[in-house]
Every structure is written in structure tokens, then in C-alpha cells.
Structure 1
Amino acid sequence: MKKIIKTLFRLVCNLMIMPLIGLYILLIQVANKDAVFSAFSQFLSLFPGKLGAYFRASFYHFTMQHCDLDTVISFGALLSQQDTELQSGCYIGPHSNIGKCRIEANCLLGSGVHILSGKEQHNFDDIDRPLNQQGGKFTKVVIGEDSWLGNGAIVMANVGKKCIVAAGAVVVNDVPDYAIVAGNPAKIIKMRK
């Protein structure tokens, strides 16, 4: 019975979010798609409680490359790239900031987790040009299934499946499957398998 009620509630949220999706579709015709997506993400991040989580999942389901409806995207969490993928059972904690990435099934992200769009977002080789004019390259970071990223972790490289990233860790290099990493830069402290 609980599953039926949740399904009906998701359906109602999907219907309620349709005017916002219509506005989003209109705006991306005349403006930068990621800028519009980011603005809508900022707006939706302010809706509190379970209703807000359902609204966010519904909106992202229709606007991102992939977002399962059973994902939980908490209050204050911002998604900046439409090319992001959230698989089934993902939980994104409050005040997280998610760039271009694929978060696989059953991952948990604590509060204040930042997933950057790779580690080459900003070029800085030319000291004669301002940094904001040097460009960069966004790459899709992959967080493997059933991994847990602790509060305040900063991730700019791939994390394997069934990994644990300690709170406050800064991941700058790929993390192999089953690893537990901590520190800045993050180092393997133990293997789970």
C-alpha cells in the first residue's frame, strides 16, 4: 500500500511540475541550456521537506540526461549541468553542489559534497591572460554504484563502485573499486574487499 501511495504522489508531483518544465523548454530555446538549468536548480533547491525532494526529482527526471524518480535531492542541493545522470536509489545531501557527472545506483552523498566537472575546468597556463578568459574543459565524473561520499567531500575524479570517501576528503585522482579514501589529496587507507 505504501508503494502505491508513493507512486500516486510522484504522479501528482509530475503533473504539478509540468508548467515549470514548459517554461524551462521555452527558455532553453533562447538562452544557454546549462545557465537556464542552473537557474531552475537554484530555484527548486529552496523547496523544503519531502515535497521539495519530490518536485526536484520530477523536474530533473524530465530535464536531465537521466534521473530516476526514486532519487532524493535534498534542500539546498544545486545541480549545474543538464548532462548529469542520477541512477536509482541515489541520495544527495543538503547543500551539495553537483557538476557534470554520472552517479550510479544506490550512492549516498552527505551534506555539502561537491562533485566538480573534472579537474580541467579552468586553464591557467598563460600568465598574461586573465584566468576567466582561459577557458577549460568539462569532463563527466563517474561515482560508482553503492558508494558513499562523506560530508564536505570534494570530488574531481572518478570514484569506483562500493567505495567510501571520508568526510572532507579531496579526490583528485581516480579511486579504484572497494577503496576507502581520506585526506587532501585523498589516499587509500583501506580496501573493503
Structure 2
Amino acid sequence: MRHAVKFILNSLSQLIVLPFVILTRLEQYLLPRNTEVLFNLCTNIVALFPGVPGVFLRRAFYTLSLDKCSLHCHIGFGTIISHRCTIIHKHAYIGNYALIGNAELGEYCLIGSRVSILSGEALHELDEDGMWTPFSSDLLKKVTIAKNVWIGEGAIVSADIGESCMIGSGSVVSSPIKPNIMVAGNPARFVKHLAPANPSESKGSSDSKGDGHAVTS
């Protein structure tokens, strides 16, 4: 019953946001490549839909306008996804007021509130006169957040993150992160290895927390 109700609500939400989707598709097919003016207008509007209805409407809009977006994800209030080439896999969770550039978000990843995922590191270049060039879509790089990654609130990410990592709140990630580790700080530095609890061990065992160790200075 629950799945049937959710299916109906998702379908109704897609009908409601259809005018926005049509605008973005017309822009995509009729205007020059990588034009996203109308797309960004619509993303700013749907970001402000409040409450549970807003979650359904944002998800509905992005499932119909992004390259790929699962109906089984959560996109929080105030969150803006700035490029339609973004990919969101099932059970991804994005908190409130996040800014997502050109990214691929893996299954079961948790993106905290106010996290910024940039479209790479070199979005502007110095020209021959020493002036910074304006934004160019040719400089976009897809940042991949692998499966089961937890990114803490306020972190800034411009590089790939491996599977099952934890990124501390407020961290700045500018170089790729290997799987199964925790990093924190600015710039982000190794804190400890992460490993799932051993099912054969009791819940009260201190060893069930993993075999990681903190880095000491």
C-alpha cells in the first residue's frame, strides 16, 4: 500500500512540474549546447518548495530534467543542482541548502546541509592579459561521489571521493579521496580507516568500531 501511495504521489508531482520540465527541454534542444539559463531559473524555483510536498516536487523535476535521477532519493529545501548533466543514484540523500555542480552521487550517499560540490577545480583560467576568464562549460569536470559516502555539513568538495568514506564537517576536499577512510580539515587530511562492524562480534565490543586509528601530530 505504501509503495502504491508513493507511486501516485510521484506521478502527480511529475505532472505538476511538467511546465518547468518542458521549458528546460526546449532550451536543451533549441538553444546552443550547454545553455542552462532556463534550467537554472527552474532549479531556483523548485528549491523553494517547502515541506514534504517540496521533496516530492524537487525529486519529480530532477528525474525528468537531469541526465539521470532516481525517484528513490531525497533533495532538501534550498538545494540547487546547477547542471543537467548531474547524476543521482537511488537512496542518495541531499540535505538543505546544498549546492551541487556537475556531479555523480552514488547509492546511499549522505550529503549534509550547506555542502558545496564543485564542478572540478579549474572553472576559470588566466588569459594572456592576466585576467580571469568567465565561466565556460568546456571547463566542467564531473566529480564522482561513490556509494555510501557521508559528507558532513558545510564541506566543500572539488575532487572524487571513494566508496564508504566520511568527510568531516567544514572540510575542503581538493584532491581525490581513497575508499574507506575518514578525512577532515582544510585541506582535508587523513583521520582514520573505516571498516564495517564484524557481525560475529557483540554490539558491546569496542572492536566493532573498526580497526582505524587516529592520526597524531
> Which category of TM-score, normalised to the shorter sequence, fits these structures?
over 0.9
CA 1:74–1:134 in 2, change beyond 3 Å: closer, same or farther?
closer
1:16 corresponding residue in structure 2: 16
Give 1:134 shift: 8.2
Give 1:17 shift: 1.7
Q: Which amino acid aligns with 2:164?
A: K
Distance 1:105 1:116 in 2: 19
Percent of pairs identical after alignment?
32
2:119 corresponding residue in structure 1: 117
Q: Which amino acid aligns with 2:179?
A: D
Give 1:81 shift: 0.7
1:101 corresponding residue in structure 2: 103
Q: Which amino acid aligns with 2:131?
A: P
Contact 2:124/2:134 (8 A) holds in 1: no
Q: Which runs of 5+ in 1 are unaligned?
A: none
Distance 1:190 1:127 in 2: 44
Higher relative contact order (CA 8 A, sep 6+): 1
How many residues in Structure 1 have an aligned counterpart in Structure 2? 192
2:178 corresponding residue in structure 1: 176
The superposition leaves residues 28-55 of structure 1 with CA deviations (integer Å, 9 ceiling, x where unpaired) of 4246532222221111101011111111
2:70 corresponding residue in structure 1: 68
Give 1:178 shift: 0.5
TM-score (normalised: structure 2): 0.83
- Given the alignment of the two structures, is residue 132 of structure 1 paired with residue 133 of structure 2, yes or no? yes
Alignment of 1:75-94 (within 5 A): 75-94=77-96
Contact 2:27/2:36 (8 A) holds in 1: no
Q: Which runs of 5+ in 2 are unaligned?
A: 196-217
Greater shift, 15-24 or 5-14, is seen at: 15-24
- Secondary structure of 1:62's match? helix
Alignment RMSD, CA only? 1.7
Give 1:156 shift: 0.2
Distance 2:169 2:135 in 1: 32
